[in-house]
Amino acid sequence: MDKIERTLGQLFQGRDFEKQYETLKQQVLAYSPVQDFLKANNEDINEQIINQNLSKLYEFMTEHQKYQDKKDTLMPGYAPRLSLNGDYITVTYYPTEEKIQADRQRAIEKRIRSLYMPKQIMEATMDDFTIDNESRSAAFLAAGEFLSTYQKGSTGMQKGLYIHGSFGTGKSYLLGAMAKDLALKGISTTLVYLPEFMREIKQSIADNSVGEKIQFAKETEILMLDDIGAESMTTWTRDEVLGAILQFRMQEELPTFFSSNYSMEHLENHLMFSNNGNEERMKARRIMERVRYLAKEVELDGRNRRY
């Protein structure tokens, strides 16, 4: 506002004040959106009101022209609007459609927390999920069933999905698409690329932040663990990290999703052997009991879509 008044002051300096004032006034009054405003309020606006509010009309004209030319206004992302309050004309700024859409998109993105997930997964949508065989149809229907029935804060366990299949069939993509759909409904989801998460957990021992990271994974509203079985698993990360997360989510009945190249049966065999080669069948079975409680197994077959 100070900038507008300074501009007007500069325009009116010198001997030709009245001439400059009249020229500017006619320029403002000739501006089509100003004319529309005056016509809409012709019963309440007279010459005196126009003269005493000329700076506001000028502000509107210059800012509206910037908005029309897609230049930055006094308030970027907002468009000017004239209003009449008694004898005073005011300029208010309302959010543009572009800003509304951008704010909506940011709100959606804030509801999808991602750890180490690729950009294309974060942009996935259910509409773009390809259905060209029986297993993909079944996986899509299972995902749709959860999306249509899940209610935030509802009582009772609502199982997630354990999506398994060969490389590149779209397991991670389907998780990302579900997360986007949930975000549109105001539901927060955390997608975690499990191999990288486990590496970070090991590195976090040095700064004593392990407990904080595990607690975050435990408590998030909906958790999606991508590529379980691809991580380098130790007995500690299996039992004290993954086991603790799954135990908490099982007790609290929090929806949990998984993707893997392994079926549940093969994942159990994978988890059975620690990195030192020892066989720990009972501990692997304990982990898998939690996985089976939390998620329904769904196969996603087909060609490798990464190439």
Least confident piece of the model among 20-24, 42-46, 138-142, 169-173: 20-24
Furthest C-alpha separation in the chain: 97
Confidence (pLDDT) at 119: 81
Please indicate, yes or no, whether residues 11 and 63 belong to a single structural domain of this protein: yes
Confidence (pLDDT) at 261: 96
Amino acid at 109: E
Please indicate, yes or no, whether residues 211 and 154 belong to a single structural domain of this protein: yes
Mean pLDDT of 197-211: 87
Please indicate, yes or no, whether residues 83 and 172 belong to a single structural domain of this protein: no
Please indicate, yes or no, whether residues 260 and 123 belong to a single structural domain of this protein: yes
Mean pLDDT of 84-98: 91
Confidence (pLDDT) at 76: 86
Write the CB contacts of 100 (distance below 8 Å, at least 6 apart in sequence).
Answer: none
Instruction: Please indicate whether residue 6 or residue 248 has the higher confidence score (pLDDT).
Output: 248
Mean pLDDT of 146-168: 89
Residue 283, SS3?
helix
Please indicate, yes or no, whether residues 71 and 107 belong to a single structural domain of this protein: no
CATH code of the domain in which 135 resides? 3.40.50.300
Please indicate, yes or no, whether residues 115 and 85 belong to a single structural domain of this protein: no
User: Over the stretch 206-247, which tens digit does the pLDDT of each residue have?
Assistant: 888 888 889 989 999 999 999 999 987 788 999 999 999 999
Task: Pull the structure tokens for residue 262.
Answer: 């392994």
pTM of the complete model beyond 0.75: no
Q: Which of these three, 32, 65, 95, is where a domain ends?
A: 95
Least confident piece of the model among 31-35, 131-135, 207-211: 207-211
Please indicate, yes or no, whether residues 64 and 109 belong to a single structural domain of this protein: no
Instruction: Please indicate whether residue 4 or residue 150 has the higher confidence score (pLDDT).
Output: 150
Is pLDDT at 7 greater than 80 in this prediction? no
User: Over the stretch 55-66, which tens digit does the pLDDT of each residue have?
Assistant: 999 999 999 999
β-bridge pairing 189-193 and 160-164: unpaired
Structural domain contains residue 220? yes
* DSSP, res 307: -
Confidence (pLDDT) at 245: 96
The Cα–Cα gap between 39 and 43 comes to 8
Please indicate, yes or no, whether residues 128 and 88 belong to a single structural domain of this protein: no
* Percentage above 70 pLDDT, the chain: 90
Written as one string, the DSSP assignment of 25-44 is: HHHHHTSHHHHHHHHHTTTT
User: Over the stretch 250-306, which tens digit does the pLDDT of each residue have?
Assistant: 999 999 999 999 999 999 999 987 666 678 889 999 999 999 999 999 999 988 877
272 near 139, Cβ under 8 Å? no
Mean pLDDT of 111-116: 70
Is pLDDT at 108 greater than 60 in this prediction? no
Confidence (pLDDT) at 13: 56
Mean pLDDT of 106-123: 73
Structural domain contains residue 306? no
Range of the domain at 277: 102-299
Is pLDDT at 120 greater than 90 in this prediction? no
The total number of structural domains in the chain stands at 2
Confidence (pLDDT) at 4: 57
The burial of 110, by beta-carbon neighbours within 10 Å (0-12 exposed, 13-18 middle, 19 or more buried), is given as exposed
Confidence (pLDDT) at 73: 76
Residue 18's pLDDT band (cuts 50, 70, 90): confident
**The length of the chain, given as a count of residues:** 307
Confidence (pLDDT) at 3: 59
Please indicate, yes or no, whether residues 163 and 291 belong to a single structural domain of this protein: yes
Please indicate, yes or no, whether residues 151 and 118 belong to a single structural domain of this protein: yes
The burial of 91, by beta-carbon neighbours within 10 Å (0-12 exposed, 13-18 middle, 19 or more buried), is given as buried
Write the CB contacts of 227 (distance below 8 Å, at least 6 apart in sequence).
Answer: 172, 193, 194, 195, 259, 260, 261
Please indicate, yes or no, whether residues 64 and 201 belong to a single structural domain of this protein: no
Structural domain contains residue 307? no
Write the CB contacts of 57 (distance below 8 Å, at least 6 apart in sequence).
Answer: 28, 29, 34, 50, 82, 89
Q: Which of these three, 68, 95, 122, is where a domain ends?
A: 95
Structural domain contains residue 304? no
Please indicate, yes or no, whether residues 88 and 106 belong to a single structural domain of this protein: no
